[in-house]
Structure 1
Amino acid sequence: MTIQSTDRTDIESRKKRADITRSSIMRAAEKLFAKNGIENVSVRAIIQEAGQKNESALQYHFTNRQGLIDAINFFRQTQVDSKRGELYVELLHRTATPTFREVCSLLVEPVFLLAENDPGVRQWLKAFSQGYASWTPTALKRNWSSMGNNTKETAKLLHSYLDHIDTDVFDLRIINAMRFIALSLSQQAHEKKAFRNADSDLFYHVLLDGITSLLSTDMSSETQEAVATKK
């Protein structure tokens, strides 16, 4: 019984150390990526910043540099999706019939609130948002669909307000909204006291206005014709 208890303690201790090492490497990478740009940071620099002795720590936890980048993005996107879920529940608890603008806020507010309070999120946005905006539509759509159940539910709720909009058009608008949000957040992340300065509130509401308009505007006759031609 004592041996089993000791073994369990050892396993938990090793897991805790591994989690700390993994987290320290991810945070070090975010910091350096934000400061110097993703392409300008070597594995060696990340290891040194994380206080590790050699590159085998990165290889053990992430396989390679791309695996580290994927892990960072997965961690942050999961964090955003979780916050989006909290705000989704709060919104529907507050009102059974939210306005379209209030639903659109679920696209922007989760990241904004996290960035206000977490320097790691600000570094992530600074490092990755601009590049994210340059992804292909296929990659963006695939990424959007993998961001978590709360994000998927938000997309469904948005679409329910726009059932008069062709599905392909709605999907393209979501992709364009994602690009717009990513570029805007990247710009804000580079500002002094990003997300916490005197203009942050104005920035948030102007961004939300833009997203609301982008998604909700009626299809033009030209767009309707293009949809009909495609089908």
Structure 2
Amino acid sequence: MPRDAAGTRQRLLVAGRRLFADNGVYATSLKAVVEQAGQRNTSALHYHFGGRDGLLTAILDVHNARIETARQSMLDAPTLTLDDLVAAVVLPQAALLHEQDGREFLSIISQLSDLFDRWEDGRTPEQAMRAFLGIKQRLPADLPDDLRHERVTRFLELVAQALGSRARQIDAGLTPTVEHDTWVDNLATMAVGALSATGRGRGRPTPPARAGSR
């Protein structure tokens, strides 16, 4: 790729990441991305990415590659507990809170939670899938497969929303009330507790007795 073309592609990536994070993935116009990148029309964006979905995928791929590398080193341990697997999901993403572009990535991910239910469809990155399947296999033995899938999905939503919220808080110039390491440890602890909970149906209220019933 010529140097000027590579530079244009990178500027579009940066502009897309920033605007998607700040204004919303689907609320941001492609024209706004192009203008932010200093281009004259959307043809450059379509040339490099094909459209919105291609741009979004490219933005996510940059950070997913880093996360996958960090995650692999955590998953190559000889034995892995549920705590270890949750940490392998949470910690590599939480490390991105220290960087502007990482926080933008986390903010974008938190907007995509309606897609999380598809994590077993074959498109999840390899190391992420290793962690997710490992978690699924270590859930309470009496959970049927559909509830195992559901529980992992809700875990992913919990983590994404928590990280996205903290990223936006930091970028707004607000000082979090809990320091980073303690906050991350607490998030992982909450996630393990939710994943390993037993007693299906205990949260359902008992219906009131009908008048005159015995």
| 1:154 aligned partner | 131
Report percent identity of matched pairs. 23
- Does residue 178 (structure 1) correspond to residue 156 (structure 2)? The answer is yes
Alpha-carbon distance, 1:125 to partner: 1.7
| 2:116 aligned partner | 140
TM-score (norm 2): 0.79
| 2:30 aligned partner | 43
> What is the count of residue pairs matched by the alignment?
198
Q: 1:205-220 residue pairs with structure 2 within 5 A?
A: 205-220=185-200
Q: 1:1-80 residue pairs with structure 2 within 5 A?
A: 14=2, 16-80=3-67
Q: Which amino acid aligns with 1:167?
A: D
| 2:144 aligned partner | 166
| SS of residue in 1 equivalent to 2:182 | helix
Q: Which amino acid aligns with 1:218?
A: T
- Does residue 119 (structure 1) correspond to residue 100 (structure 2)? The answer is yes
Extract structure 1 runs of 4+ deviating beyond 6 A: none
Q: Which amino acid aligns with 2:138?
A: Y
TM-score (norm 1): 0.73
- Distance (Å, rounded) in 1 between the aligned partners of 2:28 and 2:134: 40
1:94-141 CA deviation, whole Å, 9 max, x = no partner?
Answer: xx334421221111111111332x321211222341x223x1xxx323
Gaps of 5+ in 2: 204-214
- Distance (Å, rounded) in 1 between the aligned partners of 2:136 and 2:109: 27
Contact 1:47 1:55 in 2 (8 A): yes
Structure that is richer in helix per residue: 1
1:85 to 54, 67, 72: 72
Q: Which amino acid aligns with 2:88?
A: L
CA RMSD, aligned part only? 2.7
| SS of residue in 2 equivalent to 1:191 | helix
Choose 144-153 or 204-213, whichever is displaced more: 144-153
Gaps of 5+ in 1: 1-12, 224-231
1:4-58 CA deviation, whole Å, 9 max, x = no partner?
Answer: xxxxxxxxx62x5433322221111111222333344322221222223432110
| 1:189 aligned partner | 167
- Distance (Å, rounded) in 1 between the aligned partners of 2:162 and 2:95: 15
Alpha-carbon distance, 1:177 to partner: 0.4
Choose 29-38 or 204-213, whichever is displaced more: 29-38
> Residues 161, 36 of structure 1: CA spacing in aligned structure 2 closer, same or farther, 3 A cutoff?
closer
